[in-house]
Structure 1
Amino acid sequence: MPFVQISLVRGKSVVHIAALSESVHQALMEEFNVPALDKFQVVHEVEPHQLVFPSSYLEIPHTEDIVYIHITCKEGRTVEMKRRLYRKIASLIASRTGLAEDDVVIVLAENAAENWSFGRGKAQLIE
């Protein structure tokens, strides 16, 4: 049930974007036990001036290749599961795209089961 939003600078290839998408989904399947068909994602390509970031934060350098990954998911995962997820996403993206792990910024937001509807106007996770 995660909903993933990936934001990056416009102009990357379809193959590059697919590698980002698949890397995030694979990590979610492996670390959060998300089913293979539970893949809901939106990719936002923006102009360079629309992606705002510091050149370095917490002693982590960032470049114009920075990618923001925002994951909204149902609450209930442990801190260790989240740490493993972040590591796995960054590692898979780096190996598949050549992006530096430093340029993979992840935000995870949790909510309760009643906050999801997968269609038909129903809250399937609580009905």
Structure 2
Amino acid sequence: MPVTRIALRKGKTADYKQALMAEIYEAMHETFDVPEDDRFMALSEHDEDTLWFGRSYLGIERSDDFLLIQMTVSRTRTQEQKKALYRAITERLARSPGVRPEDVFINLVEVEKENWSFGRGEAQLV
């Protein structure tokens, strides 16, 4: 049930963007037990003046290929699962489409189960 938002600079190919979404989903599937077809993602592209990031914050050197990945998830995962997710996303994106680990920024927003409605105005998880 995660909702994933990916922000990046304009100029990447459709294949690159599809690979981002596919690899992030597969990482969630393997580390967070996200079911098949539980794919809710939005990708937004930005000009240089609408995507700001600290190029060397915390001593990590970031490039124009920086990705901002924010995931809203239910508050049900352990700290170990979260660390596994961060590793899996970074490793998968390094393989395809070839994102440097330094350019992968991930933020989890945890919410309670009653904060989800998947359609029909119902709270399916409550």
TM-score, reference length from structure 1: 0.97
Q: Could you tell me how far apart the structure 2 residues matched to 1:113 and 1:106 are?
A: 21
Deviation at 1:55, TM superposition (A): 1.5
SS in 2 for 1:64: coil
User: Can you list the C-alpha shifts for 1:22-68, whole angstroms capped at 9, x where unaligned?
Assistant: 11100000000000110000001111211101121111110111000
Deviation at 1:91, TM superposition (A): 0.7
SS in 1 for 2:82: helix
Gaps of 5+ in 2: none
Q: Could you tell me how far apart the structure 2 residues matched to 1:39 and 1:98 are?
A: 22
Gaps of 5+ in 1: none
Structure 1 outlier segments of 4+, above 6 Å = none
Matched residues, number: 126
Deviation at 1:5, TM superposition (A): 0.3
The equivalences for 1:34-73 within 5 A come to 34-73=34-73
Q: Could you tell me how far apart the structure 2 residues matched to 1:55 and 1:73 are?
A: 27
The equivalences for 1:1-127 within 5 A come to 1-126=1-126
Q: Could you tell me how far apart the structure 2 residues matched to 1:54 and 1:124 are?
A: 39
Write the letter of the residue equivalent to 1:122: E
SS in 1 for 2:96: helix
Q: Could you tell me how far apart the structure 2 residues matched to 1:114 and 1:10 are?
A: 36
SS in 2 for 1:97: coil
Identity within the alignment, %: 40
Write the letter of the residue equivalent to 2:40: F
Write the letter of the residue equivalent to 1:92: R
Write the letter of the residue equivalent to 1:40: F
User: Can you list the C-alpha shifts for 1:61-87, whole angstroms capped at 9, x where unaligned?
Assistant: 101110000000100100010000000
Write the letter of the residue equivalent to 1:3: V
TM-score, reference length from structure 2: 0.98
SS in 2 for 1:84: helix
